Amino acid sequence: MRLTFLGTGTSFGVPQIGCPCAVCASTDPRDKRTRCGAVIESPAGTRLLFDTPPELRLQAIACGIDRIDAVFFTHDHADHIHGIDDLRAFTVRQRGALPMYGPPETLRRLHERFRYIFDDGMQPLPGTSKPEGTARPIEDGDSVRVGDVEVQAIAVPHGLVRVFGYRVGPVAYVTDAKTVPVETVDRLRGVEVLVLNALFHKAHPTHLSISDAVSVAQQVGARRTYLTHLTHENFHAALEAELPAGIAPAYDGLVVDC
């Protein structure tokens, strides 16, 4: 299985607009973070996209992603969905609608905001095109198969909303969690690669802190854990140096094979 981090930044991105801090001015390319998204690809070539962040077009070009088989949405906050129109490049090339999975409330709101993607009655004028998607709501604990890959939805709390993390064979992708309950930790055990959000060193009302994420990672016991949804409060190199063995910050474009 191959995991590609398309984007690893918080909702502001790094650098932030107008910010003069040292991290935002860093020349280390690992400190340039677009909004969160990822692709998981099986050895047989099934390719799954997780979220459609605002920079999706640029991320896909940078990482050489020219085809996907399905989209899995974690939730519908702007930094995770506002690149959804960039799916047009995939559906036009592939000549068909993409299955789009996620919590029912997320897909319902996506339909409300982006009806033209899901409504077959809204056809583009001749000579024009639109992205095409088929909404496939799933619930916590559901498993779905796309090609040769089985994906399980794992709900976690994120302030007043729920977010779906996803377990895909040896990989678990969990972003925007505030906590990871004990029963959820049990469902994550056995993965080889774990991805967790980690916002600040200090506590945040809707996200894991870095120390929270380290604690969850140690409870799950994956061989490798990567932190994502990172802010401009940490240089990549400095954060990497302070984390325990087996836990590391992800960065845009990082490819992990397992």
**pLDDT tens digit sequence for 193-243:** 999 999 999 989 999 999 999 999 999 999 999 999 999 999 999 999 999
pLDDT in tens, 111-154: 999 999 999 889 988 989 999 999 999 999 999 999 999 999 99
Give the start-to-end residue ranges of the domains of the chain. 2-257
CB 216 within 8 A of CB 195: no
160 pLDDT more than 90: no
State how beta strands 224-228 and 247-249 pair. parallel
Sheet containing 247-249: order of strands: 143-146, 149-158, 161-168, 171-174, 193-197, 224-228, 247-249
Query: For the residues 171-191, what does the mean pLDDT come to?
Result: 97
CB 193 within 8 A of CB 169: no
Of the candidates 227, 179, 184, which has an alpha carbon nearest to the alpha carbon of residue 207? 179
At 157, list the tokens. Answer: 């709390």
CATH (residue range 2-257) = 3.60.15.10
CB 167 within 8 A of CB 140: no
